[in-house]
Structure 1
Amino acid sequence: MPGQPDLQTGGYSIEAMRLLARSALPRFVFDFADGAAEDEWTLRRNEAAFDDYVFLPKPLNGAGERDLSITLFGHRLSMPLILGPTGLAGLFWPQAEQCIARAAAAAGTAFCLSHGSVCTLEDVAGIGASPRWMQVFIYKDRGFTRELASRAEAAGYDALVLTTDNQVLGKRERDLRNGFSIPPRFGPLDVAGMALKAPWLWRMREELQRINFGNYVRDGEKADIKTLAARMQSLLDQGMNWADVDALRAQWRGPLILKGVLHPDEAREALQHGIDAVIVSNHGGRQLDGAIGSLDALPGVVEAVQGRMPVLVDGGIRRGADMVKALALGATACLEGRPHLWGVAVAGEAGVAHVLETFRREIDRVMGLCGLRSIADIKPSLIRRSSFH
């Protein structure tokens, strides 16, 4: 396709892919994914926290062959990386959610569909990619929470991810500066910016007319995105509590994962309420600016659960080395969000596949250099707090 970069030379790292995405996308679209809340301190801390740790390799252990796979909820994943939920992915590439799901399945790992996907959860299930997880919230209309869970079960989703840190929308100042809103409103400057990104505009020429929140459309309804966005915001319930978690646990028979856990006490309580795993996450810094960095919170959550459930982590992962450090601190696996959005924005499914392969090669390289034959060999003794910070 004209204007599509050579991924092998231009996308040699996740940061390089980010720069390609910045070149490919109108500014307001790029900033929607790249930005975070208020001063973006938590976003920066998520990334910087990995620099606080250094490796203590043992190359003479001899790791000529390395196995990156893990088993999670009965599924063998090719590596300890899962594609996390990212709303409005269809704004970056036509049928982006399907592209992301296919790339994850081809790479042998799992993905989680956002509640705010452009397509419906049934559309993504229809391509057969798995393992597939579905994100849900606790809504004021508890019936709608139950409805989404029922639809996910009927569509064969393998796990439900209950996200708890989005009940009050964060103040994302890049979006405010750009005039970007949900639903998107395209003013004269936006249209001019889109015109300067001709390949993106050409790809999206038909998609932009039907960008929507597919999971929120009622049967037989012809609601536009403005109506659906207002419905989504009105449904968010700031008064959600553990009783709501219990109700969802009673309904959903598969793995139930709690996303947005930062406090050790909440992790302990999750165990008592029958949660199957937690995701240590601050929503990529997009909600509460000043919240603890995900990697900073990870050890406390790991200690709190004492190995009684998997602990996953997301936020700031930009290198395979970051994932190895997170695993050394006790994580079972990691999730990422922005990197695969950058990949899909650059080259669709091939871009996501390239991002996944970049991470896989980097994990493998770190393991080889550290003398690690398998993920199980990644122990706390592999890393040490850096004395340079």
Structure 2
Amino acid sequence: MTVITCIDDLKRLHKRRAPKMFFDYCESGSWTEQTFRENTSDFDKLRLRQRVAVDMTNRSTTSQLIGEDVSMPVALAPVGITGMQHYDGEILAAKAAEKFGVPFTLSTMSICSIEDVAAHTKSPFWFQLYTMKDEDYLRRLIERAKAAKCSALVITLDLQILGQRHKDLKNGLSAPPKLTLASMIDLAFRWRWGMGMLSTKRRTFGNIIGHVDNIKDPSSLSAWTAEQFDPALDWKKVERIKEMWGGKVILKGILDAEDAKMAAKVGADAIIVSNHGGRQLDGAISSIRALPSIVEAVGDQVEIHLDSGIRSGQDVLKAVAMGAKGTMIGRAYIYGLGAMGQQGVTKALEVIRNELDVSMALCGKRDIKDVGRDILLVPEDFEGRWQAS
């Protein structure tokens, strides 16, 4: 029996149990993967200040994200094709998040539909929206999220066009997987995954199949999605979508202070400092490096969350210390899901909360709401010394 003590333990199990194309989908970035790597390595450059002889009793990691009570400042990020990492993946992750007391965000490109997740949970979840050219579909998708009582709309801004991810192209990524000789050999060694997939009817994109005319199977879906991401997305369209939704809006994919100012100007309830996990613009700076300038620019105007690179409770602590109100985890919970289903997602959350709690205490803080930059040692050149543009 494997003893799980850290997120890397779950990652190793995930790699053994999930088909290669889906593990690679999770564990990859675009082009050279420089930004993907630096999202995690830049957290290592920040040091924590140990403090002693401080009362560490009655600690609390509870907080609020966009006015919602949370057990720690963490939300589950939207991740596409989560239901291919483990059968009924989005449903199981949402149930784990609900029981743990953190928000779950459902991706537009999920395997389980909005209605599927709503039927299996009681707490409102967040819905992530990719802007599509088909405005009728976009409007109906938003209405479906309203009907499911989603408590926030997370609009992704950094996927107007798709960054090239070499592993996905080489693996022939599809949902469900295409049966080639290579994929069949791989699936033969993933019997646990295969048995699970045979037990469910959810094997393709539930938010699209049956909701778009002439999209009846994976082949027609691929052609449709290749043309649908909207390269014309601009701030005026963001405002129109915000009005169409009428509820709380979170804007995801902010990496520049000027874009953060625009997000605040259009009235976002929160922004997510994110480079899409290093899967879009390779060569962009890491999210944690981008965070300080964005906090300085709009920290008093809009709630700031951070996504991309978080693999531990210490990373959560560092992000909060650098000015984020909350964080999002994607790969960290997907490792758990691929390894052990709902139990694995819960384990990932337990690992992160334990690391957050202990590290916070050893830095001399008892409440996450009291954590500030004073617990960190930050290199002088952490944000980079770039020539003026």
Structure 1 length-normalised TM: 0.93
Residue 80 of structure 1 corresponds to: 73
Structure 1 residues 156-235: aligned runs within 5 Å:
156-181=149-174, 184-207=177-200, 211-219=203-211, 223-235=216-228
Paired position in structure 2 for 1:310: 303
1:70-112 CA-partner distances (Å, limit 9, x unpaired) = 1122211000110000111111111111100000000011010
Give the C-alpha shift of residue 387 in structure 1: 8.0
For the residues of structure 2 that align with 1:172 and 1:157, how far apart are their CA atoms? Answer: 31
Deviation at 1:120, TM superposition (A): 1.1
The one-letter code of the counterpart of 1:140 is: K
CA contact (8 A) 1:267 1:305 kept: yes
Would you say the 8 A contact 1:260–1:280 is kept in 2? yes
Matched, 1:14 2:7: yes
| Residues 36 and 279 in structure 2, CA contact (< 8 A), matched pair in contact too | yes
**Do the aligned partners of 2:175 and 2:204 also contact (CA within 8 Å) in 1?**
no
Sort the Cα spacing of 1:93 and 1:149 in 2 relative to 1 into closer, same or farther, 3 A: same
> Match of 2:330?
337
The amino acid across from 1:357 in the alignment is: E
Q: Does 1:119 align with 2:143?
A: no
Does residue 1:354 correspond to 2:347, yes or no?
Answer: yes
Deviation at 1:183, TM superposition (A): 6.5
Q: Residues 230, 255 of structure 1: CA spacing in aligned structure 2 closer, same or farther, 3 A cutoff?
A: same
Q: Tell whether 2:268 aligns with 1:268.
A: no
Q: Given that residues 111 and 205 in structure 2 are in contact (C-alpha distance below 8 angstroms), is that contact kept between their aligned partners in structure 1? A: yes
Shift of 1:176: 2.3
1:249 aligns with 2:250: no
Which stretch of structure 1 is more off in the superposition, 221-230 or 376-385? Answer: 221-230
Aligned to 2:252: 259
Q: Deviations over 1:2-47 (max 9, x none)?
A: xxx54xx1x2110111011111122222111111111111110000
Q: Distance in 2 between matches of 1:75 and 1:385?
A: 31
Shift of the 86–164 alpha-carbon distance from structure 1 to 2, 3 Å rule, reads same
The answer to whether residue 380 in structure 2 is matched with residue 384 in structure 1 is no
- SS at 1:212 equivalent: coil
Q: Distance in 2 between matches of 1:308 and 1:116?
A: 31
CA deviation after TM superposition for structure 1 residue 219, in Å: 4.8
For the Cα contact (< 8 Å) 2:84–2:176, is it kept in 1?
no
Q: In 2 relative to 1, CA 253–352 (structure 1 residues): closer, same or farther, beyond 3 Å?
A: same
Q: Runs of at least 4 residues of structure 1 off by over 4 A?
A: 219-222, 386-389
Q: Distance in 2 between matches of 1:223 and 1:59?
A: 62
- CA separation in 1, counterparts of 2:335 and 2:122? 21
Summarize the Cα distance change of 1:210–1:155 in structure 2 as closer, same or farther, 3 Å threshold: closer
2:357 is equivalent to residue 364 of structure 1? yes
Q: Which amino acid aligns with 1:315?
A: S
* Distance across 1 between alignment mates of 2:52 and 2:223: 56
Check conservation: 2:106, 2:125, Cα contact below 8 A.
Answer: yes
In structure 2, the gaps of 5 or more residues are 383-389
Partner amino acid for 1:133? W
Alignment of 1:128-167 (within 5 A): 128-167=121-160
Give distance in 2, aligned partners of 1:32 and 1:306.
33
Q: For residues 139 and 174 of structure 1, what CA distance do their matches in structure 2 show?
A: 25
| 2:326 counterpart of 1:321 | no
Query: CA 1:194–1:282 in 2, change beyond 3 Å: closer, same or farther?
Result: same
Question: Structure 1 residue 23 and structure 2 residue 3: aligned?
Answer: no
* 2:56 matches 1:63: yes
C-alpha deviation, 1:182, in angstroms:
6.1
Corresponding pairs, count: 381
8 Å contact from structure 1 (residues 132, 159) kept in 2 = yes
Query: Which consecutive unaligned segments of at least 5 residues does structure 1 have?
Result: none
Contact 2:35 2:286 in 1 (8 A): yes
